[in-house]
Structure 1
Amino acid sequence: MKSFASDNYAGAIPEVIEALVAENKSHKPAYGNDSTTKLLEDTLSSLLEIPFKMHLVFNGTGANLFGLSCTILPYSAILCAETAHIYVDESTAPETLMGCRLIPLSVDDRGKLTMDVITRSIKRQGDLHHPQATTLSIAQPTEYGTLYTLEELQQIRAITAQHGILLHIDGARIFTAATALGCELKDIIVASGADVISIGGTKAGMLYGEAVLILNQKCMEHSSFLHKRSMQLASKNRFIAAQFLALLQHWKTYSATAINKTKQLEELLKKYASIKLTKPVEANAIFARFPPSWIKPLQEIASFYIWEEASHEVRLMCSFDTTEEELERFDKKLAQLNKDSVISNS
Structure 2
Amino acid sequence: MFKGITGNVFILGLVSFFTDVSSEMIYPLLPLFLTGLLGAGPAFLGVIEGVAESTAALLKLLSGIMSDRVRRRKRLVLAGYSLSAIMRPLIGSASSPLAVLLIRTGDRVGKGIRTSPRDALIADSVDPSLRGKAYGFHRSMDHAGALVGPLVATFLLAYFVTDLRHLFWLAGIPGLAAVLLIMWKVTETERTPLQKTGLRLAALPPGRLRRYLLVLFLFTLGNSSDAFLLLKAGAVGTPSYRLPLLWAFFHLVKMLSSMPFGALSDRIGRRSVIVAGWSVYSLSYLGFGVATTEWQIWLLFAVYGLFFGLTEGVEKAFLADMAPPAQRGAAFGWYNFAVGAGALPASLLFGGIWQLEGNVAPFFFGAALAAVAAVLLLMLVPSQQQPDADARRT
Task: Provide TM-score, normalisation by structure 1.
Answer: 0.29
More helix by share: 2
Larger RCO, structure (CA 8 Å, separation 6 or more): 2
More strand by share: 1
